[in-house]
Amino acid sequence: MPGWSAWLLLHFGLAAALTWGARRYALCRRLLDEPGERRSHTVATPRGGGIAIVACLLVAAAVAWTRPDAISPFLVAFAVGLVLVAGIGWWDDHRPLSPALRFVVQNIAALVLAWGIYQIDSNPWLAGLTFALTLVLVNVWNFMDGINGLAASQAAIAALAYAMVGSGVGTLLATALLAACLGFLPFNYPRARIFLGDVGSGALGYALAALWAISSGGREISMLIFLLPLTILLVDAGFTLATRMLAGERWWTPHITHVYQLAAKRYGHTAITCAYGALSLITLMMMLISSRSSMYTAVLTLAAGYAAAGGIWLGVRRRMEPNKRADDA
């Protein structure tokens, strides 16, 4: 097993090289996201760069398989589920598929991962929560992949958090995800030369659900506290989805009403990606501080983190709403 520096450099370099290759492939195949009323970019941009991150995670899982502390059922489940989520996303990047088909495949992948987690300690609660969180995060990362650098940088911060609190296979996968995201980001931020695509956004959500499950290890406090690095995207996606449902809108269709999209339209992609990153680093520190606390403190910390994020969301939304109404007029 290589040292950590070599491990990080391996996945950083592999992700960068494969992202470059994915961009060339997308340009040759004309896999482009065109600008439009429901998109936040203004020029046609290649998509599908997230395949590089998927490849890095599969390499990491293969290396982890060779370790003495390998958790074989989990690694098999992780790899199979990742291929399912990334595969349906890759297909959708080439030829749009129905939401129903994508959701069916995502459910199968979530079930496979939940089975792998159950093999570790036979905890039905952890397995059930893993299934639910996988479906949530796969779709949240897809919803939130709308401006330069946001989805990949948020995944990198969450991966860093799980690398710091995990051990063994969990840390190995988390550091691989961190390095892979960093290798992809120069192609996506501050100027996007390629997008993650559905292959990448779904894979990031899936990988983070797996890292949450393997890092928490079924401990009730950890299951709560380890949700903190996911706070910012979960709040923006969840509150926006609820708002659209209450307004009777077609919530499953593309739109630009997430707070990050409204704010990016006014302040630019770079500023908003940095702002979201700063907020997520705060939640990472909250997680580290409270990771060894009592259950009472853990619940209060989690509630405080999500309440603060919700308050920020509401404040920014109200500030941006006049501009949105003016644009719609």
Domain segments of the chain: what residues? Answer: 4-328
The answer, yes or no, to whether residue 329 has pLDDT greater than 50, is: no
Residue 185 DSSP symbol:
G
For the beta carbon of residue 82, count every other beta carbon within 10 angstroms: 22
Take residue 313 and report the two structure tokens written for it: 């969301």
291 and 166 Cβ atoms separated by less than 8 Å: no
Q: Which residue has the tokens 């606390």?
A: 293
Instruction: Say how far apart CA 213 and CA 146 lie, in whole Å.
Output: 26
DSSP characters for 79-135?
HHHHHHHHHHHHHHHHS---HHHHHHHHHHHHHHHHHHHHHHH--HHHHHHHHHHHH
Take residue 168 and report the two structure tokens written for it: 């063994």
123 and 218 Cβ atoms separated by less than 8 Å: yes
Residue 35: which pLDDT band, with cuts at 50, 70 and 90?
confident
Q: Tens of pLDDT along 187-244?
A: 999 999 999 999 999 999 999 999 999 999 878 889 999 999 999 999 999 999 998 8
Residue 41: which pLDDT band, with cuts at 50, 70 and 90?
low
The closest alpha carbon to 7, from 171, 224, 121, belongs to 171
The closest alpha carbon to 166, from 236, 278, 77, 64, belongs to 64
The answer, yes or no, to whether residue 150 has pLDDT greater than 90, is: yes
